[in-house]
């Protein structure tokens, strides 16, 4: 019989029991539920609501259940609606009356809200740590391939030569913003709802600041109705996961393109490729494609929870049971995708010669040729027109700018001199971009230094959370 069965003459049907249960999802937060119950029981004993003997029996009983769950020996009752009833039911069976006193001053509403916040903090810390590891690999690859020149693109057309390191570091800064979003979501989750009871608080002399301390929360939530019904922090988690998956997808798109025969910029290692059941020559970037494909499920979880939350009046409603599965799936998906990306980058082979050759094609020097004229007194708009006409001339003659003679250059403008040749080298073009944030060698060295500084700062943030003991993992 359910723990709330006193009011009812009949049990729910087998179907509605199954339809309303969340036990399979809730198993993910068994440890959080047990630690939350131990903190609640300790506080009750400290406040004189239960005896210390009761607390000791409760703590020993809950730790034994936690040990059984960890070892896979715990027998879940299929009739239990959720993890809270499953654990409490087993505890009462094991230790008797003391177990029945555990729920004093507590509702499943504030209990589940506490468990989910603790789980969210654990998931977010894991994602922050994995984000750090991914960015560390990106920096390593940027350093290893420093000086490699590739074509930069706009509209997927050759634009200007850039350093491959500069291109990679653009993703470093994307993932740095993702770290901040994950950290912000962590801070949003780091608030204690325990002691809010069903929605109005309780008449028992509970010390919510004490359970906040025991569970490693930053502060107790000041409004009991908000405490049991808020899931904004899960929306923050899902949004952070969605943006990070979008960034991973963009990089996967590039990896897929770069590894084609047409581009040939990189070769993925065998560990991160698959073959074909019919075409022996194939080496497919399946894991980059799969990561790109998994973005939709994370987006879907975000939209699902937003839709669930839009019509819920205060305070708790059963709809809120739907908040957990999508968040857990988004966590699993993003964590695995970052691990996969880390491995792809760390083991790929970069073909510097192919990138360099491609960087000199497609008139990537055109802007620098226009700048050459502008620096010699030609108004930039006029210089732009002159070089545009040169490009048109080259296309008709099937030439590149680098193939033109000085005579052909001077026919377009008398401001061209012999030193125009130096403006056509892709490495020189990249090196000349010395402005802060540019692709020049010196500018990228500055960027690498700043990236390392940011990485250390974020590593220290993860370390500080762990040292504070603010996460039950």
Two structure tokens written together for 32: 């959080």
Q: Where are the beta strands (DSSP E) in 164-263?
A: 191-192, 219-220
Residues labelled catalytic: 155, 276
User: Computed from CA positions of residues 391, 397, 398, 403, in that sequence, does the dihedral angle turn out positive or negative?
Assistant: negative
Beta bridge partners of 154: 157
Maximum distance among all alpha carbons in the chain? 101
Q: Regarding beta strands 191-192 and 219-220, do their DSSP bridges make them parallel or antiparallel, or are they unpaired? A: parallel
Instruction: Find the Cα–Cα–Cα–Cα dihedral 52, 58, 59, 60, rounded to 10°.
Output: 110
Cβ(169)–Cβ(447) below 8 Å: yes
Spell out the long-range contacts of 446-455 with Cβ–Cβ below 8 A and sequence spacing 24 or more.
447/166, 447/169, 448/139, 448/142, 448/143, 448/146, 448/165, 448/169, 451/135, 451/139, 451/142, 451/169, 451/172, 451/173, 451/176, 452/139, 454/176, 455/132, 455/135, 455/136, 455/139
Could you tell me which of 386, 390, 389, 388 has the C-alpha nearest to residue 403? Answer: 390
Burial (CB < 10 A; 0-12, 13-18, 19+), residue 429, is buried
Beta bridge partners of 274: 284
Give the relative orientation of helices 108-144 and 441-468 as an angle to the nearest 10 degrees: 150
Beta bridge partners of 153: 158
User: Which region holds residue 183: left if phi is over 0, alpha if psi is between -120 and 50, else beta?
Assistant: alpha
**H and E: helices and strands count for the chain:** 19, 6
Q: 3-class SS at 28?
A: helix
Q: Round to whole Å and give the CA distance between 53 and 71.
A: 27
CA atoms within 13 A on the CB side of 13: 3
């Amino acid at each position: 019989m359910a723990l709330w069965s006193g009011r009812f003459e009949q049990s729910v049907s087998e179907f509605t029991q199954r339809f309303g249960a969340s036990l399979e999802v809730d198993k993910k937060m068994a440890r959080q539920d047990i630690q939350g119950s131990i903190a609640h029981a300790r506080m009750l004993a400290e406040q004189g609501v239960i005896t210390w003997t009761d607390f000791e029996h409760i703590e020993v009983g809950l730790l034994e259940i936690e040990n059984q769950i960890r070892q896979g020996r715990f027998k879940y009752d299929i009739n239990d609606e959720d993890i809270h009833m499953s654990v409490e039911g087993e505890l009462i069976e094991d230790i008797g009356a003391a177990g029945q006193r555990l729920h004093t001053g507590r509702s499943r509403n504030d209990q589940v809200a506490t468990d989910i916040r603790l789980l969210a903090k654990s998931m977010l810390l894991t994602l922050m740590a994995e984000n750090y590891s991914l960015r560390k690999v990106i920096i390593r690859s940027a350093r290893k391939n420093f000086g490699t020149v590739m074509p930069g693109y706009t509209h997927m057309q050759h634009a200007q030569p850039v350093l491959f390191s500069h291109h990679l570091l653009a993703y470093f800064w994307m993932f740095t913003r993702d770290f901040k979003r994950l950290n912000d979501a962590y801070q949003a989750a780091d608030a204690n709802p325990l002691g809010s009871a069903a929605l109005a608080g309780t008449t028992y002399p509970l010390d919510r600041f004490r359970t906040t301390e025991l569970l490693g929360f930053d502060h107790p939530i000041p409004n009991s109705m908000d405490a049991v019904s808020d899931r904004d922090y899960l929306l923050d988690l899902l949004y952070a996961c969605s943006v990070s998956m979008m960034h991973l997808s963009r990089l996967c798109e590039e990896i897929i393109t770069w590894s084609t025969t047409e581009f040939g910029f990189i070769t993925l290692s065998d560990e991160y490729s698959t073959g074909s059941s019919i075409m022996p020559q194939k080496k497919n970037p399946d894991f980059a494609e799969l990561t790109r494909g998994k973005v939709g499920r994370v987006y879907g979880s975000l939209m699902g929870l937003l839709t669930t939350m839009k019509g819920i009046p205060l305070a708790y409603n059963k709809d809120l049971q739907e908040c957990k599965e999508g968040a857990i799936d988004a966590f699993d998906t993003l964590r695995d995708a970052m691990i996969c990306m880390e491995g792809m980058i760390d083991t790929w082979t970069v073909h510097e010669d192919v990138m360099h050759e491609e960087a000199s094609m497609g008139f990537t020097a055109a802007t620098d040729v226009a700048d050459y004229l502008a620096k010699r007194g030609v108004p930039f708009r006029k210089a732009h027109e002159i070089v545009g006409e040169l490009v048109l001339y080259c296309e008709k003659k099937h030439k590149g700018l680098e193939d033109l003679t000085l005579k052909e250059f001077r026919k377009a403008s008398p401001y061209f001199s012999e030193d125009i040749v130096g403006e056509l080298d892709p490495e020189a073009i990249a090196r000349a971009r010395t402005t802060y944030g540019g692709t020049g060698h010196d500018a990228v060295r500055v960027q690498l230094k700043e990236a390392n500084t940011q990485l250390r700062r974020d590593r220290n943030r993860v370390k500080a959370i762990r040292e504070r003991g603010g996460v039950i993992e």
